[in-house]
Structure 1
Amino acid sequence: MVRENIHQVTVLGSGSMGHGITEVAAMAGYDVTMRDIESDIVEEGYENIRWSLEKLADSDRLDESVDEIMARIETAVDLGESVADADIVIEAVPEEMALKQDVFDELDDHASEGAILASNTSSLSITDIASVTDRPADVVGLHFFNPPVKMELVEVIYGAETADETAERAYEFVEDIGKTPIYVRKDVHRFVVNNVLGPFVDESHWMVSRDEASIREIDAAMVHQRGYPMGPFELMDMTGLDVTYHVRKAGDIEIPPLMEQRVENENYGRKTGKGHYDYENGDGPDYEEGDGEGFETLRIDAMIVNAAAWLIGNDVATADAVDTGAKLGLGFPEGPCTFGDETGLETILETLEGLHEEYGDERYEPEPYLRELVADGRTGKAAGAGFYEY
């Protein structure tokens, strides 16, 4: 059905996300116009696509030749011309609200009636972005993960006025380009995946800030005992502590002292040569499997399950969407809802209640939906029902 109403795709931005999304759409058979503000910038993005496709061809991962795929991509500088015939426009400019609103304000004047206007953002409000247009029903979030060519997940995010038809068409488009979409049905800060990731990072930082564990101890335990692809501190060094810090500031989330200290000292991670680990004079993440012996990973996992309960209880996403997002977007060994059900939700609840009693911090307060499940006897797999039915 999606092919009947989406033929022409326009991507605004030719940076790593923009040219990656363009490449994915062209590989799926769509004609794509990639636009940026200067011809040399957009041409650089175009050549980056060719380089990526040639790498894929060398690995025998293309169904067509590089030239056939590249022939479906056009470049542009003029925004009006680039979007005039587009059935879906995907904005992929830097993560700044004012900049995105400027783009959507201009889009509103030039995009055809009925076109889907999508923003690729990891945390900014779709409602606020749509507010500068006269057609907020046509605006939706499409959060591709980096790099788009490799990452399977895309979050499809409703703004306050996004029409179901818009979200459904966007969801079908994502499926048609070979990705796995999940609905984010409310425009909450950090959407689904980054809300699940939050406690993985934050609780670890709080524990080290309180001298309750070491960085290497937590990273080793979460990787070698639990099977996460990276420890939380190793992950933050790769992502950039400054990025993490500013996302929390924007969401008015209390920031652990350890994170504050690293950012104040401009120790952002790999890109500055030093973060939680030393990348200039040291070996980077140098934890070993034995470093995590004796560390109780359930404390961090319980906080992640509680975040999932918040998302579900507030009708932001389904349990399946949360688990799919965590596995495909973050590489978690299993989704938090599956983990909670297998561990026993009564155990998760007791852990959170114990933390809340010990520290009194609001973030340890068990979510009402989690309490409701346990009160109803839906404590997980052993009981025959929890987040899921068994």
Structure 2
Amino acid sequence: MNDSIFREITVIGAGTMGVGIAQVFMLSDAEKVNLIDISPETLKRTKETLIRYFDILQKDQFFYKKGEKSRILNKLNTSTELENTINNSDLVLEVVPEDIKLKNDLLKKIGELSTSQTIIASNTSTFTITELGYASGKPRNTIGMHFFVPPINQSCIEVMRGKKTSNDTFSKVVEFSKTIPTRNGNMFVAPIHKDTPGFISNRILIPGNLYINVLADIALKKGIPYEQLDADAKSIMGIGPYELSDYLGLDTAYNALKSFEERVSHEFAPGKVLEDLVSKGYYGKKAGRGFYQYNENGRAKIDKTIKSGLLNPELMLAIQLNEGCKLLEEKIVENYSIIEKVMKIGMGLPGPFIPGKRNYKKWAKLLNNFANEHQIEYFQPCELMRSGKFVGMRK
């Protein structure tokens, strides 16, 4: 008998993230995984993609039992219908685009179709679980499960409760998440006991987007090419922040800043350069144009031989450290080792606390000077960073 916490799971949204999440759910002890999307063509491609994913795992000797791949693939059910899947599911996870109306409408429908025992989860990047819980009509059953791409390799899940999430909902999702297999063993689970936009990962990263947006407006006024700002960041980033923004999608960056503008601080309002690019449909690499122009092969000419001196890599790290200290001050997390693990395991990036222990005084001054010069109160160093007391909060 299967003693899995969740016997049947439904994933709604068959994009890149949804397919990756379905893959690791299929590897779990769940008996059935439903993957729902409005597009039959997308679902057809999804099946082919998952077969290819599991072929790769088999070649890499991920499976130890004969016939294991076939057994796992038989767990998958794809459908364009919600009604016949949600009411039998123990866990329903939405992975639809980061649009609040779309998510609210979907969650309302999930709430109406699900049983009183069904747990409703969201993979949102920037919205709060509390607001999504109210949208579902079942806030006690609603929780955040934030994955990283691809989940099979980036073996970390941030599990966050909303203000009304029940202890039972939270504990079940945390315990189940710990059992999900990945290439690196089971998932590392970061339990977040207090609701915040962006979980841990995006709270750390999105303020950096605000910084590069401020600099983009300055560079435009001064006639400085963005490639020179990317050159400034070479010491800490293999791919510069503007090239990376193009790769991830400027519409994504814009929507994240707009969400934080509403939920965190009005100072996250997108800058003039980003507003102009997005308004013209220049969403980055996928659109052929963003901060850079891309040819038919998706390549851009980016010359990083000249630095502008405008972007300070240390200031980018200082912003991350300050945000991490705010998470500690706000009691979003209990210690900074959780933040470091999320960044390392989930994002493949070093966290700010280890270098921050040596440099926090210098970085606090850098932040203070930048905040005063550009009148951005949000960048003022918080008390925990200024004092260095975070040093004793590793565990």
Same fold at TM > 0.5: yes
Stretch of structure 1 that moved more, 295-304 or 35-44? 35-44
Aligned match of 1:250 in 245, 259, 275?
A: 259
Q: In structure 2, what is the Cα distance between the partners aligned to 1:168 and 1:62?
A: 29
Question: 2:195 — aligned with what?
Answer: 187
Secondary structure, counterpart of 2:117 in structure 1:
coil
Indicate the residue corresponding to 2:365 in structure 1: 350
Distance 1:74 1:256, change over 3 A: same
Q: In the alignment, which residue of structure 2 is the partner of 1:370? A: 385
Name the counterpart of 2:394.
388
Shift of 1:141: 0.9
Q: What amino acid is aligned across from residue 47 of structure 2 in structure 1?
A: Y
Q: How does 1:1-390 map to 2 (within 5 A)?
A: 3-31=3-31, 32-37=33-38, 41-63=42-64, 65-177=68-180, 178-211=186-219, 215-223=226-234, 225-226=235-236, 228-252=237-261, 253-280=268-295, 283-284=299-300, 286-288=302-304, 291=307, 296-317=312-333, 318-332=335-349, 334-341=350-357, 343-371=358-386, 373-374=387-388, 378=389, 385-388=391-394
Distance between the aligned counterparts of 1:304 and 1:167, measured in 2? 27
Return the alpha-carbon distance in structure 1 between the equivalents of residues 41 and 288 of structure 2. Answer: 30
CA distance in 2, matches of 1:75, 1:359: 51
Deviations 1:41-62 (A, max 9, x none): 4344223211222233334444
CA distance in 2, matches of 1:157, 1:83: 22
Deviation at 1:131, TM superposition (A): 0.9
Distance 1:214 1:387 in 2: 41
Give the secondary-structure state (helix, strand or coil) at the position aligned to 1:251.
helix
SS in 2 for 1:344: helix
Cα deviation for residue 214 of structure 1 reads 5.2
Distance verdict in 2 for CA 1:112–1:327, change over 3 Å: same
Distance 2:125 2:346 in 1: 12
Q: CA deviation at 1:165?
A: 2.5
- Looking at structure 2, the residues matched to 302 and 102 of structure 1 have their Cα atoms a distance apart, in angstroms, of 38
Inter-CA distance 349–291: structure 2 relative to 1 (3 Å threshold): closer
CA distance in 2, matches of 1:355, 1:55: 48
C-alpha distance in 2, partners of 1:304/1:118?
A: 27
Q: Provide structure 2 residue ranges, at least 5 long, that are not aligned to the other structure.
A: 181-185, 262-267
* Cα gap change, 1:260 to 1:63, in 2 (>3 Å): farther
> C-alpha distance in 2, partners of 1:185/1:18?
25
Residue 134 of structure 1 and its aligned partner are, at CA, apart by 4.2
Q: Which moved more, 1:49-58 or 1:213-222?
A: 213-222
Deviation at residue 142 of structure 1 after TM alignment: 0.8
Most deviating of 54-63 and 185-194: 54-63
Retained in 2: the 8 A contact 1:24–1:148?
Answer: yes
Structure 1 pair 43–206 and aligned structure 2 pair: CA distance change class (3 A): same
SS at match of 1:5: coil
SS of residue paired to 1:122: coil
Aligned residues of 1:192 and 1:325 also touching (Cα < 8 A): yes
Mark the CA change 1:294 to 1:144 in structure 2 (over 3 Å): closer, same or farther: closer
Identity %: 25
Q: Say which SS state the counterpart of residue 135 (structure 2) adopts.
A: coil
CA distance in 2, matches of 1:361, 1:97: 27
* TM-score, length-scaled by structure 1: 0.85
Distance 2:13 2:167 in 1: 26
Q: Is the 8 A contact 1:206 1:258 kept in 2?
A: no
Q: Tell me how far 1:3 sits from its aligned partner.
A: 4.5
Asked if structure 2 preserves the Cα contact closer than 8 Å seen for 1:345 and 1:386, the reply is no
Unaligned 5+ segments in structure 1 are none
